[in-house]
Structure 1
Amino acid sequence: MNKIIISTALLLCSTAVFAWGQIGHRVVGKIAENHLSPKAKLEVQRILGNESIAIASTWMDDVKSDEAYDHTHAWHYTTVPTGKTYEESEKSKEGEVVQKIEDMKELLKNESSSMADKKEALRFLIHLVGDIHQPLHVGNGLDRGGNDYKIKWFYSNSNLHRIWDSELIEGKQLSYTEIVESIDFVTPIKVKEWQGLSAAQWANESATIRETIYPENGLEKIGYEYSYQFWELVQEQLLKGGIRLAGVLNDIFQ
């Protein structure tokens, strides 16, 4: 009986943490849906069927537990050491996020790709565009993208990566649709500016942002002040991710 209770508690705990991390990806996916061209919207629907971009956005995390996808674990991130650019940085032989964004784009553009391959590639692409806009998915090569940077988030043990993946967003107690409704306002000039950059430039942008988000003076406990300081940046990164994902899909399916 005790084992059942403990196992259930652990399952609920891990599921809750995982679900909170999904909110950001779904925000990016929903914003992208809002900015698709009519043709791109039809093509995405043809590939995904009844699965929305927002729901498809978390699939790549869902399959982490499937051994068949172990080779994709390194795809979620890239490393750009402080003082270097993406172009100057050593690339993982297992693949990394910028390279894989480009690979999925090419697969989707290839008319000979099967429908099954296109569906998988589209799910990968949706997720990876979200990942690259989380600044700590462009790591400095020293602390596993902030995973080794231990912090107390309010009164709980955490790390900087987890705080940016989920806890800053989860702390607002908003659904992904509520966040989208509150931030999806962007001018055509800004859309053109954001969509005019390449995935490599997105990585450089995230690396620059990454340098600004480590707590000052190595603070080990953060909470309301940190959340207030960076919430606007979190929202902007989510919005950029969605607008850029829409741009990529509009280009693929033009």
Structure 2
Amino acid sequence: MPRSREAKGNRDPKGDDPPQNCTVEWPDDCKDKKGCIVSAILNYTNILLDTSDQDKRKVDRKNATMFLLHLIGDLHQPLHAMGFEEGGNGVKVCWNKERNPTCEHSNLNLHSVWDGRIIHKLRGLPASMDNPREKVAAKQWADELFERAQSRATTNGPEDECADVTAGEECILQWTKESNALVCSHVLARGVKFVDKNDLSEEYYEENKELAEEQVAKAGVRLAAWLNAIAEQIQPEEHEGHLGMASKKGKVMIGDL
């Protein structure tokens, strides 16, 4: 099987070296011209909070809402909060030896396993799906997570989450550090050599499937809290039809953007 770049000694220049060290250094980790997921979430949040020249900014605010939906979800996939091997994109892995017994010439990377393969197997879905079918499956899963959260008195709702959008850096960094730490404690807990040599659809999947689902559920609750907080900051006439209020346990209701 092709070796990962880590096996050749290529480490994250900013300090991540899982499983020994996972760290977030703000703002140093986000100083290049492209920025990072933290700065992007802050930027789109500020666009929504800016209520000046409503007609001119309508398209900007629509796009900002859609990007926030995407990015807050992404942030809870641990490898999106990790610089090591470009967030795991440089770590080649094997998934399902039944189809590729020797795992040779695999183009699959660890990031893709966490972006899709673990979730698809958890939900009994094929590795790849067309977009309409995937949306239907995602909605069904979201409904199940929502109903499950409502039945658990101990589950945090949006009101329990950090959601100070006027000082958003604090909350976003808290979530980022949590995700980053999961790379050392779960994603690469056994080191790169383990994921490099083993079929991740077997033991590795069993070890991490609950975490993957927990992170998705947590992302939904926090997204709901974030949108609620933005809506509360702007005038009712400004957010009506743009941001729907989220329900108590975190099922986000997005209005007609």
- TM-score range relative to shorter protein: 0.5 to 0.7
Supply the distance in 1 between the matched residues of 2:23 and 2:33 (Cα, whole angstroms). Answer: 19
Q: For this pair of structures, how many residues does the alignment match?
A: 175
Given the two structures, how large is their TM-score scaled by the length of structure 1?
A: 0.62
- Aligned pairs for 1:36-55 within 5 A: none
Residues 106 and 80 of structure 1: CA distance in aligned 2, closer, same or farther (over 3 Å)? farther
Residues 88 and 103 of structure 1: CA distance in aligned 2, closer, same or farther (over 3 Å)? closer
Question: Are 1:127 and 2:105 an aligned pair?
Answer: no
For 2:84, the equivalent position in structure 1 comes to: 142
- Pairwise CA distance, 1:83: 4.5
**Greater C-alpha radius of gyration:** 2
- Pairwise CA distance, 1:80: 7.0
Matching residue's letter, 2:112: R
For 1:154, the equivalent position in structure 2 comes to: 96
Supply the distance in 2 between the matched residues of 1:163 and 1:194 (Cα, whole angstroms). Answer: 28
CA contact (8 A) 1:138 1:207 kept: yes
Matching residue's letter, 1:163: V
CA contact (8 A) 2:81 2:87 kept: yes
Matching residue's letter, 1:235: E
Which of 15, 18, 42 in structure 2 is aligned with 1:102?
42
- Pairwise CA distance, 1:94: 1.2
For 1:240, the equivalent position in structure 2 comes to: 218
Mean alpha-carbon deviation: is it higher for 174-183 or for 121-130? 174-183
Residues 165 and 93 of structure 1: CA distance in aligned 2, closer, same or farther (over 3 Å)? same
CA contact (8 A) 1:86 1:200 kept: no
- Pairwise CA distance, 1:178: 2.9
Q: What percentage of aligned pairs have identical amino acids?
A: 29
Matching residue's letter, 2:172: A
CA contact (8 A) 1:194 1:244 kept: yes
- Aligned pairs for 1:3-42 within 5 A: none
For 1:111, the equivalent position in structure 2 comes to: 51
Supply the distance in 2 between the matched residues of 1:215 and 1:153 (Cα, whole angstroms). Answer: 18
Supply the distance in 1 between the matched residues of 2:15 and 2:58 (Cα, whole angstroms). Answer: 34
Residues 124 and 100 of structure 1: CA distance in aligned 2, closer, same or farther (over 3 Å)? same
- Pairwise CA distance, 1:125: 1.1
Supply the distance in 1 between the matched residues of 2:15 and 2:141 (Cα, whole angstroms). Answer: 30
Q: As a proportion of its length, which structure holds more strand?
A: 1
Is the partner of 2:42 in helix, strand or coil?
A: helix
For structure 2, the 5+ residue unaligned runs are: 1-13, 101-105, 126-136, 164-169, 233-257
CA contact (8 A) 1:194 1:240 kept: no
Mean alpha-carbon deviation: is it higher for 96-105 or for 211-220? 211-220
CA contact (8 A) 2:44 2:65 kept: yes
Residues 194 and 224 of structure 1: CA distance in aligned 2, closer, same or farther (over 3 Å)? farther
Q: As a proportion of its length, which structure holds more helix?
A: 1
Matching residue's letter, 1:177: K
CA contact (8 A) 1:195 1:243 kept: no
For 1:182, the equivalent position in structure 2 comes to: 144
